Structure 1
Amino acid sequence: MELQSYHKIYHIHKKSRVKRWFLFIFIGGIITLFLPWTQNIKVKGNVTSLYQEQRPQQLNSPIPGKIIKWNVKNGDYVKKGDTLLQLSEIKDDYLDPLLVQRTQQQVQAKKGVREYYEAKAGTAKNQLQALNTARDLKLNQLKIKISQLNNKLTAEEAELTAALNELRLSEDQFSRQKKMYDEGLVSLTQFQQRSISYQNATAKKTSAENKVAQTRQEILNTGIEQNSVIQDYTEKLSKTEGERFQSMGQIEGSEGDIAKLENQVANYKARQGLYFIIASQDGQVVQLNKSGIGEVLKDGENIGTIVPTNVNYAVEIYIRPVDLPLVKEGQRVMCIFDGFPAIVFSGWPNSSYGTFAGKIVAVESNISGNGLFKALIIEDQKEKKWPPKIKMGAGVQGIAILNDVPIWYELWRNINGFPPDYYEVKNNEAGSYEKSK
């Protein structure tokens, strides 16, 4: 009797299909090896903005002060120019409510002092002109007097010359008369008359010499008086000039004081405008770290953060130094944003779901603090738009697209440890991007 269980357990007579399945799998594997595969580099980064003014900005206190009023709370949306909070002064130098008016009064007082010194300098200038005029007049008078004395001296010298001539004649006549008297040719009376004429001529000569000497002394005295007048007026002019320069120095000093006080007035007015901390742009106020009324803020202390509402989003990714030669400006990158579901096929990025295309616009030449190089990616306007709900600082995974190769080449490259292939990007629009309104 033949056992049925033996045939059911051991399929001895059953025809095997292993060879067929092996053949199908082998042929399918061969075909798969020749399918295209897109080489890529996987990187990580976060959402940011291409422009500095669109990134989250700290709210800082421009002056030390005390909080007296809050106009916002965490999460509020504000417009540019809205008042966020109000401060009051805590420094003794600025507590006076009439500080600006009192400083302006000091400015007016200094201007009055400047005008006084300007008038004093003008008076000193007039005094200089009057002294110069008086000096010139006095010197002209002395010059005329010296000229007159010189003319007088000339006339007296002529008289002296005539007296000398007359003396010589009288002396000659007296000698002849004496000789004739000694010989008895003339009488004593005639001799005495001639002697008197000779003595008169001598006296006339002495008188003329005295006049000449006196006139010369007057000329000398007048010259001394002229020098004395020059010295006297020089001292007066120097003193007046010194007073004028002193007044001008006071004017310049007043100008400096006025400028300093006007600068203080401008600073005080500007400081009064700093009592109100306003929003620099449209955005959301977050991370407020001060609470209540009466808290004191230091100069430049952080109050919170404002996140701009209108942002041209970009992605910053970090690349390993070994992969840096494979990344170029204008290169295509597929981005996966945190919070948005995605189905990714690494080698077939075009077949992936939930990825968004972008292009690299800049690669920094300096390495970052984390030992990686940073690159910036913007949205590719020619493809699907990025999701509108992405937020600043959200995480991003990037896939930098490289060359298309067969699967067998990619397997061979990985087995041998060779780097991926890359291509030169030729994109004239890589550097031409604008901020969208």
Structure 2
Amino acid sequence: MTEISPVFISYKNIKMPRPLMILCIMLVGLIIMSALILMYVPWVQTSHGMGRIVSLAPNGKVQFIHALVKGRIHKWHIRDGSIVKKGDVIAEIVDNDPLFLDRLQAQKNSFTAAKNAAGIATETALTNVHRQEQLHKQGLAARKDVENARIKYESWLAKLAEAESKVASAEVMLSRQTRQKIIAPQDGQILNTFAGDTATLVKEGDVLAEFLPVNLDIGIALDIAGMDIPLVRLGQKVRLRFDGWPAMQFSGWPTTSVGTFGGVVSIIDPAISPTGKFRVIISKPKDEYWPPEKLLRVGVRVQGWILLETVSLGYEIWRQLNGFPPEFPVNTTNN
């Protein structure tokens, strides 16, 4: 019988501890399970962007209320934060000369009287032209008399046109000076007032107040990096988190997110914005719920995740480690 070397006898007598064996089995199982998870668990790629709530309608943005005429602030009818209706008086402006309107009215009356007189004289001159032409046909008036009558008629026509022009200018001036009540263009709220008290002089076009309309058509303007913008398409779904609303967003599993709101891509800017990114406008779908508009104020910050393609978890980890862009969609139209 062959003798066994003492080294192998010692190795044969070594027994692996049971806890270590269990640990090895668990590690092997964990490796297999991790590989299966990385291969088969789906992950929704997203393009993350920061943005703000904006008003989409031109008449729904923040507006500046200007002075229509020069003068002095006579009375304020509002203050910061006041709610106004369309047509409500915001401020009254008076001219530095308290008799300026009276003098304008008197000037207009004078021009009107001159126009009426020129009109009567023009009609008389036209009648004289007809009379001189009739007398000329009968041989009772010279040709020179007819021509003088026509010249006089043309002269009065010019004076009548000049008088009408002066009346029109006076009416425009008077109309502009009577528009000294600054009114609200639509329902909204006064954000700030920029002029002072009754001693403040304003010029035509000076900003008096900052105004924000109500019933805004709001949307979300997200800034998306240039590496992701080729992957964004019109109609893509978006998950949104508004500042002030508690939420938990799982980027790869949007269905498990809590406290986020749905949106859809409606506009993609073709040119880069001053921030160095591309602006993407997100609108509210009809079947989604957003907080009330009175709580979603214009300018509130928003985080958005545009939902892209679905890939495996392992591919997404590999992509993130290598800094590659998300998966490009295979079947899509060029929007």
Task: Report the TM-score range of the alignment, normalised by the length of the smaller protein.
Answer: 0.7 to 0.9
Name the residue aligned to 1:326: 231
Distance 1:425 1:253, change over 3 A: farther
Structure 2: where are the runs of 5+ without partners? 1-15
Contact 1:111 1:254 in 2 (8 A): no
Q: What is the letter of the counterpart of residue 43 of structure 1?
A: G
Name the residue aligned to 1:45: 51
Q: What is the letter of the counterpart of residue 217 of structure 2?
A: N
Distance 1:41 1:262, change over 3 A: same
Q: What is the letter of the counterpart of residue 327 of structure 1?
A: V
TM-superposed CA distance for 1:48, in Å, is 0.9
Contact 1:330 1:425 in 2 (8 A): no
Name the residue aligned to 2:124: 119
Distance 1:422 1:244, change over 3 A: farther
* TM-score computed with the length of structure 1 as normaliser: 0.66
**Equivalent in 12, 15, 19 of residue 15 of structure 1:** 19
Distance 1:74 1:112, change over 3 A: same
**Equivalent in 290, 293, 314 of residue 408 of structure 1:** 314
Contact 2:223 2:280 in 1 (8 A): yes
SS of 1:382 mapped into structure 2: coil
Distance 1:65 1:357 in 2: 51
Distance 1:65 1:361 in 2: 46
Q: What is the letter of the counterpart of residue 77 of structure 2?
A: N
SS of 2:310 mapped into structure 1: strand
Distance 1:316 1:273 in 2: 42
Name the residue aligned to 1:339: 244
Distance 1:376 1:252 in 2: 61
Q: What is the letter of the counterpart of residue 27 of structure 2?
A: F
Distance 1:337 1:15, change over 3 A: closer
Distance 1:421 1:114, change over 3 A: same
Contact 2:108 2:171 in 1 (8 A): no
**Equivalent in 265, 275, 290 of residue 385 of structure 1:** 290
Instruction: State the number of aligned residues.
Output: 315
| 1:295 and 2:299 correspond | no
Name the residue aligned to 1:433: none
SS of 2:290 mapped into structure 1: coil
TM-superposed CA distance for 1:46, in Å, is 0.8
SS of 1:405 mapped into structure 2: strand
Distance 1:254 1:91, change over 3 A: farther
Name the residue aligned to 1:398: 304
SS of 1:97 mapped into structure 2: helix
Distance 1:421 1:14, change over 3 A: closer
Q: What is the letter of the counterpart of residue 122 of structure 2?
A: Y
Residue by residue over 1:336-386, the C-alpha shift from the partner in whole angstroms, topping out at 9 and shown as x without a partner, is 111212111111122112211111211222332333322221112212334
* TM-score computed with the length of structure 2 as normaliser: 0.85
Distance 1:14 1:422, change over 3 A: closer
**Equivalent in 28, 31, 47 of residue 26 of structure 1:** 31
Distance 1:120 1:90 in 2: 45
SS of 2:228 mapped into structure 1: helix
Structure with more strand by fraction: 2
279-288 or 17-26: which moved more? 17-26
Distance 1:255 1:425 in 2: 71
Distance 1:27 1:412 in 2: 18
TM-superposed CA distance for 1:82, in Å, is 0.6
Name the residue aligned to 1:73: 79
**Equivalent in 259, 279, 282 of residue 187 of structure 2:** 282
Report 1:297-376 matches (<5 A).
297-376=202-281
Contact 2:264 2:283 in 1 (8 A): yes
Structure with more helix by fraction: 1
Contact 2:136 2:146 in 1 (8 A): no
